[in-house]
Every structure is written in structure tokens, then in C-alpha cells.
Amino acid sequence: MPPSASPVEVLSPVQNSSPVRILLVDDDEANLLSLTATLECLGQELVLARSGEEALRHLLEHDFAAILLDVKMPGMDGLETAEMIRNRKRSKNTPILFLTGFRNDDHLFRGYDLGAVDFLFKPIVPEVLRSKVAVFVDLAKNTALLREHTVILGQAELRFRSLLEAAPDAMLITNEAGEIELVNSRTEELFGWPREILRERNLKMLVPGWTEAAQVRSIELVGVKRDGQEFPCELTCSPLRIEGNMVIYTVIRDITERRRAEDHIRRLNVDLERRVALRTLELTRSNEALQQFNWAVSHDLKEPLRTVLIFLQLFQRETHELPDSSQEHLDRVVGAAKRIELLLNGLQNYLFASDSSEGAAEVVDVGEVLSSLQQQLSDQLAEAVADLEIGPMPVVKTNRGLLDRVFQNLLTNAIKYRSGNPLRIAVSAERRAREWTFSIRDNGIGIPPEHHELIFGVFKRLHNDAEVPGTGIGLAICKVAVERLGGRIWVESEFGRGSTFKLSLPSRD
Ligand code: ADP
């Protein structure tokens, strides 16, 4: 039941205006006629009986609001009839008005003994009779009304009690001071007290923090069980006005589980924050390490290598008298040193692409990136007599430098690893759910399926330098760059049937 701000008024009176029955018993037809004429205007149902026996027969079938009984009748007289009426349970309390021609004390005593409500002496004054009968009519109607109310009340109470008992929460009815009047079985179960004891106690025994001020709202307090165990609970109190008295309807919910779940979520959040902080620290450290390594490659390794190369080349120029074999050895050393320099450059590019502190996201027109690459590679494309087709491209939020490098490597490879056929390269984009997938398809030499993963490794190549020059770092750079952009890269290819490199990027609209 939701808390209500204003007290609720319970029950409204039931109207009952259906007519009641009045039994008129007299052996004299003329008397019956005059009684009928007098009482007709009351608008009730008048039932006539000409003897005590006939009266009893009517009483077997109906209840009457009042019986007007002539004392003097042949056969069973009025007093005998009254005795029979009184002896029957159903009519035991039906009011009897005796009609008698003369005042006889014996009759009076016996009549009152038999439960007569009144005596009317003939000749009967119509107004007196009418007003007396009207009183009984009202009485009967009120009794019926009361009975009806009692039934309704009983049903309402039954419904209320079954609702109360079926409720999953503890429910109590107290007065304004918190003295308990009614509890449901969940209350007994939750607090461990039987209802007989609870009915004599105050709500403060169960919830010490409860105050009169806790009305009309929900608050979280501490409940105390019979064994002293405390638990968190939520109280919702609503005032209710029943027959002019204020009562407080209180719902107590055990929120132990809810608290436990909240604590669990709080702990998870703390743990998550800690892990994020740790991961950030790890990333910062690995970036620092990466930067140091990058520095080491460009200064500590590349510089002495440059010196070695310069002196080797000087040596090569100055020493013409060397035997051919030594000259060849020298050439090979120079070649190897140049290759080391090439690999170090590749490694440097790879380290740069891996550095997550580099490059923020920006709005990038992919079509524009591709056409400027087409310009840059125009000589190589022309030399390969290549047809490069670029389909409709989206604008995405990403890092332009990294994306540019990925497309450049993939296009260069498509040119490098062409077959004897005229080269055709097609670049297309397709949106699926929340990502864009770009495809770079060529009709080149293709890649056997067993190498589809390997080729993305650092310095991994399927050809030696003499066949096709290269360092094996291009696709490794593509992989690390695409992963940094939040996407993935893979190849679909068959040996001899061309390759399609695919990369997907989050759309981030
Ligand atoms: P590199 O081209 O310097 O060898 P990559 O990392 O770019 O290094 O490529 C790795 C290997 O993958 C290449 O040696 C080549 O064998 C294969 N490969 C890459 N692109 C293609 C392609 N478009 N068609 C066929 N093979 C390819």
C-alpha cells in the first residue's frame, strides 16, 4: 500500500429501504380490515391471519418486523399463539403487540411474561397504532441494516486479513504512539515474536529508531529481532482514519539483501576503479618504456650504425687494391649494415604506431585520405599499370595519421605483391551495426591460408629480400595501429587468387 498523505475514511453507511412484513392476527374480518386501513400508509407488506394456527404457518415461511395479535380468538388464543411464537428460535425476538378488548391484569402479566412489547386496547386509536408499528418498522430496518453492515465488515476484515497475511513484508497497525494493535505473520517471522506478545508492545521494541515523526514517509532504520540480532530495514508509515480514530499502518521491509547487493556493487566499483588506475599506470609505464626504447633505437643503435656505414663506405672507396673476395665480403658487410638500418627504421615506425600517448581522434574524411595516397603513389601505380578504384567512403572519428599509415602500407603491398596480370585494386567501405569495415582487394599473388596470421607479426615475411624487397614490418604496423584505433585487421585470401585485407573501425558517430 503506497504511503498516503491524508488519512483515509473507511466504510460508508448502506441504505436499506425495502419494505418489511407485519403480521396482523385477528379472527374478526372487520378488525383485520380496519387494521389494514390504518397501517397501509406505512408502505410495508401487511400479512393477514385469521387464527393462531394460520399465524404460525406464516411464521414458518417469513420473518416479521412486528406481530399484531388479537388476544381473544377461538381455538388457539393470542396468548397461546404468542407462547408458540416465542418458543421458536426464528421468531423468539419478534416484537408482539397484543390487541385486546378489555383490560385483564392476568392477561397483561402473562402477556408481558411471554415477551409482549405492548398492549393496545380496543377501540384502537389509529394514530397510536400507526406510530407504535412505525417504531417497530424502523427497528426492523435498522436491525437488517446492522446485519448487512456486519456481513460487509466481516468480509472486508477477512479480505484485509488475508491481504495482510499474504504480504511479503512485515505489516503492523499501531496507534499514533506506536502501540501495536495488529500484525501479520511476516512480522512474527521477521522479528521472532508471537503476535500475542507483540500486541502488548510498542513498535519501538522492534525498531528502536522509530518515532512519531516517522509518519508518512519511508526511512531506513535498524530492526531488532527477539534474539537481539540487528538488521537494516525500510519503514513506510501511512496514517489511516478508521471510524474517527487515527491508526498508523506500517510496512517493514528487511533490506539486508538489498544492502548486501549495494555493498557488492560498491566494492565492484572500487575494484574497477583500482584496476583502471592500475591499468593506466601500467600503460603509462609501458609507454615510457616504449619511448625509452624508441630513443635507444634512434640514438644508441642508429647513430653508431650510421658511423659504421660511413666508415665502411669510405673504406670501400679508398681500398681499390683489395682482392676480389675481400671486396665482395666488404660489399656484403655494407649490405648487411644497410639492412640493419632499414630494420631499425621499420622498428622505429612500429614503436611510433604503438605509442598510445600519440595521436588524438579527429573527424577524418576517409575518401580524402585515400585520394591523397593515390596521388602520392601515382608513380608506383603507373609503373604497375594499376587500376585503383575507390568506392564511396565515410567520414569517421579516428586518428588520421595512423589510418593514413595503414592504408599506405596496404596499398603499397598490393602493388608490391602483384601477379603477372594487369593489377586491379578496389577499396570499399561497408557499415555494419556500430562499425565500418574497409576492404582493400587486389588480384595479386595471394597468401596461403596457413600464413594469414603470421604475416601480421614483426619482421615476418613470406619472401626474401632478393625476390621482393621489404622488412616484414608493414603489416605489424597496420595491426598495432588498427588496434590502437579500437578496431581489428585480417586477411581473406587464397594463394594465386588475390587478397582482400579488411579492417573494421568503430563508427563513433
Ligand atoms: P613486407 O612487405 O615488408 O614484407 P609486410 O609486413 O607488409 O612486410 O608483409 C608481410 C608479408 O605478407 C609479405 O612479405 C608478403 O609475403 C605478405 N603480403 C603482404 N601483403 C600482401 C598482398 N597484398 N598480397 C600477397 N602477399 C602479401
Please tell me the predicted confidence (pLDDT) of residue 13: 40
CA angle 216–220–225, rounded 5-degree value: 110
Between the alpha carbon of residue 23 and those of residues 26, 38, 86, 123, the distances in Å are 10, 14, 15, 19
- Which residue type sits at 469? P
Task: Tell me what pLDDT residue 7 has.
Answer: 37
Ligand 1 atom 21: residue of nearest CA:
413
Identify the pLDDT of residue 359.
Answer: 66
Q: How far is the CA of 461 from the centre of ligand 1 (A)?
A: 6
Nearest CA, atom 4, ligand 1: 472
Question: Measured on CA atoms in the order 19, 23, 26, 27, is the torsion positive or negative?
Answer: positive
Spell out the alpha helix ranges (H) of 355-399: 366-376, 378-383
pLDDT at 253: 94
Q: pLDDT tens digits for 426-483?
A: 999 999 889 999 999 999 999 999 999 999 999 999 988 888 889 999 999 999 999 9
Cα of 413 vs centre of ligand 1, distance in Å, is 6
Mapped onto helix, strand or coil, the DSSP state of residue 508 is coil
Between CA 116 and CA 78 the distance in angstroms is 11
What mean pLDDT is predicted for residues 4-19?
Answer: 48
Nine cell digits for residue 474 = 608493414
Q: Which of 349, 408, 417 to mutate to test the pocket of ligand 1 (most atoms within 8 A of CB)?
A: 417
* 95 grid coordinates: 416484537
**CB proximity list for 441: less than 8 A, separation 6 or greater:** 425, 426, 427, 428, 498, 499, 500
Mean pLDDT of the chain: 89
The atom of ligand 1 lying closest to the CA of 475 is: 6
Ligand 1: which of 439, 454, 455 to mutate, most ligand atoms within 8 Å of CB? 455
pLDDT category of residue 223 using cuts at 50, 70 and 90: very high
Q: What is the pLDDT of residues 388-418, one digit of tens each?
A: 999 999 999 999 999 999 999 999 999 999 9
CA of 507 to the centre of ligand 1 (A): 28
The residue whose CA is least distant from atom 11 of ligand 1 is 461
Give the residue whose CA is nearest to atom 1 of ligand 1.
472
Atom 14 (ligand 1): residue with closest C-alpha?
A: 461
Pairing between β-strand 395-398 and β-strand 424-432 as defined by DSSP bridges:
unpaired
Predicted local confidence at residue 158, as pLDDT: 86
Separation of alpha carbons 382 and 379, rounded Å: 5
Q: What is the mean pLDDT of residues 382-387?
A: 94
C-alpha cell belonging to residue 392: 564511396
Distance separating alpha carbons of residues 21 and 47, to the nearest angstrom:
7
Cα four-point dihedral sign 445, 450, 455, 458: negative
Percentage of residues in the chain having pLDDT higher than 90 = 57
Find out whether 143 and 172 touch, Cβ atoms under 8 Å.
Answer: no
Three-class DSSP category at 369? helix
Identify which of 432, 430, 410 has the alpha carbon closest to the alpha carbon of residue 493.
410
Cβ-contact 122, 99 below 8 angstroms: yes
Q: Which of 56-60, 219-223, 353-357 has the lowest mean pLDDT?
A: 353-357
pLDDT for 11 equals 38
Contact 67, 96 (CB under 8 A): yes
Q: What is the pLDDT of residue 53?
A: 95
Q: What is the pTM of this model?
A: 0.54
Contact 406, 478 (CB under 8 A): yes
Lowest mean pLDDT among 215-224, 352-361, 378-387, 474-483: 352-361
Given a cut of 70, whether residue 16 has pLDDT beyond it is no
Set of cell numbers at residue 439: 576492404
Q: What is the largest CA-CA distance in the chain?
A: 175
C-alpha cell recorded at residue 97: 403487540
Grouping H, G, I as helix, E, B as strand and the rest as coil, residue 159 is: helix
Ligand 1: residue of 447, 452, 479 to mutate (most ligand atoms within 8 A of CB) is 447
Which residues contact residue 240 at a Cβ distance below 8 angstroms, ignoring those fewer than 6 apart?
4, 7, 8, 10, 173, 246, 247, 248, 249
Please give the number of the atom of ligand 1 that sits closest to the Cα of 476: 6
Place 358 in a pLDDT band, splitting at 50, 70 and 90: low
The pLDDT value recorded for residue 357 is 64
pLDDT tens-digit readout, 267-313: 999 999 999 999 988 888 887 887 888 888 888 888 889 999 999 88
pLDDT tens-digit series, residues 96-129: 999 988 777 777 778 877 777 788 888 889 999 9
State which of 475, 477, 490 you would mutate to test the pocket of ligand 1, scoring each by most atoms of that ligand within 8 A of its C-beta: 475
Pocket of ligand 1 (CB under 6 A): 409, 413-414, 416-417, 442, 444-447, 455, 461-463, 470-476, 499
- pLDDT > 80? residue 319: no
